[in-house]
């Protein structure tokens, strides 16, 4: 297990920024941490990175306790903080060498710096001042510094916020590429982003995890089908189909059916059993955007 969080609470005066968060992230997973502003994403990430301490609860990163083994935790984590604070007066290569010095990379430092410049596509920018780079390239520098000590775990706090659409795609591709060999937890408030790059999403709202499932699972949790038969069908028949949650009649032969799973095949069989024909069927899987909206509306 790469990251284990158990009952994590962070309280500021009388406000809970994180309020009883538990989850586990396996090695190699790319997990999207999704929630509206103020949900507690950054706070939780800072706790995982041993930047701030939790009020209570346990966090283990690669088996190291963030409270008692913070140095080991920081060594095994690459962290891209929100708003990516960088030294704008430093040159790209100089900055990466500086960061590698902090991690004590010693002799391997210059090789590692060059590798990271290649990996993040900073070849043409390496001799420029960070302050002169576009936001997209600054994010690359942020990713390069997070990766320099070859950490097993990457924590990326809103890595694409503030980028233009092309830059967003570039950074997402970079995260997907890097994620092949690392455990990645990245936060975002953009649903499509999670759909695009992660295996799993955790939705956080008001300091609590309110959903934690695979991207496919979360979408398959609830489906809506509009079905039209050639003749009326009893409501009770539809309700007796396994996985059906609720049905609504548009008229007696046309229905909207809410179900847990894809029940289209079953619907065909039920129609045949009752001597009916299916004239049309339309399935609507909720987008993560819709699910997120519903879950965080309260």
Contacts with ligand ADP, residue ranges (CB under 6 A): 12, 15, 17, 35, 37-43
Q: Where are the beta strands (DSSP E) in 81-176?
A: 153-157
Cβ-proximal residues to 283 (8 Å cutoff; 6+ apart), any chain: 223, 224, 225, 262, 264
**Distance separating alpha carbons of residues 281 and 283, to the nearest angstrom:** 7
Work out what residue 40 binds among Mg ion, ligand ADP, none; the CB cut-off runs from 5 to 8 Å by kind: ligand ADP
Q: How many residues bind Mg ion (CB under 5 A)?
A: 3
Work out what residue 17 binds among Mg ion, ligand ADP, none; the CB cut-off runs from 5 to 8 Å by kind: ligand ADP
Radius of gyration (C-alpha) of the chain in whole angstroms: 24
Q: How far is the CB of 56 from Mg ion (least distance, A)?
A: 21
Q: Give the DSSP per-residue string, 4-24.
A: EEEEEEEEETTEEEEEEEEEE
Would you say 43 or 259 has its CB closer to Mg ion?
A: 43
Longest dimension (CA), the chain: 79
Query: Which residue shows structure tokens 């003749």?
Result: 231
**Distance separating alpha carbons of residues 22 and 209, to the nearest angstrom:** 8
Would you say 37 or 68 has its CB closer to ligand ADP?
A: 37
User: Of 127, 124, 192, 120, which is closest to residue 154 (Cα–Cα)?
Assistant: 120
Q: How far is the CB of 8 from ligand ADP (least distance, A)?
A: 12
Q: How far is the CB of 216 from ligand ADP (least distance, A)?
A: 25
Work out what residue 32 binds among ligand ADP, Mg ion, none; the CB cut-off runs from 5 to 8 Å by kind: none
Is residue 84 part of the contact set for Mg ion (CB under 5 A)?
no
Site string for Mg ion, 23-52 (x = CB under 5 A): ------------------xx----------
Q: How far is the CB of 82 from ligand ADP (least distance, A)?
A: 7
Q: Given the rule CB under 5 A, which residues bind Mg ion?
A: 41-42, 82
């Amino acid at each position: 297990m790469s990251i284990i969080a158990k009952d994590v609470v962070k309280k500021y005066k009388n406000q809970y920024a994180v309020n009883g968060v538990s989850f586990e992230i396996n090695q190699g997973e790319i997990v999207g941490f999704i929630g509206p502003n103020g949900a507690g994403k950054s706070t939780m990430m800072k706790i995982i990175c041993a930047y701030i301490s939790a009020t209570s609860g346990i966090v283990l990163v690669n088996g190291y306790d963030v409270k008692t083994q913070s140095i080991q935790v920081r060594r095994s984590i690459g962290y891209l903080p929100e708003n990516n604070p960088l030294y704008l007066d430093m040159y790209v290569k100089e900055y990466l060498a500086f960061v590698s010095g902090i991690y004590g990379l010693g002799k391997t430092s210059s090789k590692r710096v060059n590798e990271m410049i290649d990996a993040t596509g900073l070849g043409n920018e390496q001799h420029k001042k960070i302050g002169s780079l576009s936001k997209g390239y600054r994010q690359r520098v942020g990713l390069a510094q997070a990766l320099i000590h070859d950490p097993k775990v990457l924590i990326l706090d809103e890595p694409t916020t503030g980028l233009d659409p092309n830059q967003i795609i570039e950074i997402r591709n970079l995260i997907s590429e890097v994620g092949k060999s690392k455990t990645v937890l990245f936060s975002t408030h953009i649903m499509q982003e999670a759909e695009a790059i992660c295996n799993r999403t955790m939705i956080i709202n008001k300091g609590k995890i309110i959903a934690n499932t695979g991207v496919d699972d979360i979408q398959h949790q609830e489906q809506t089908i509009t079905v039209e038969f050639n003749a009326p069908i009893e409501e009770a028949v539809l309700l007796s189909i396994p996985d059906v949650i609720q049905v609504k009649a548009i008229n007696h032969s046309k229905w909207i059916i809410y179900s847990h799973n894809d029940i289209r095949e079953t619907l065909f069989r039920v129609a045949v059993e009752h001597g009916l024909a299916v004239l049309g069927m339309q399935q609507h899987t909720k987008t993560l955007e819709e699910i997120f909206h519903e879950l965080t509306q309260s």
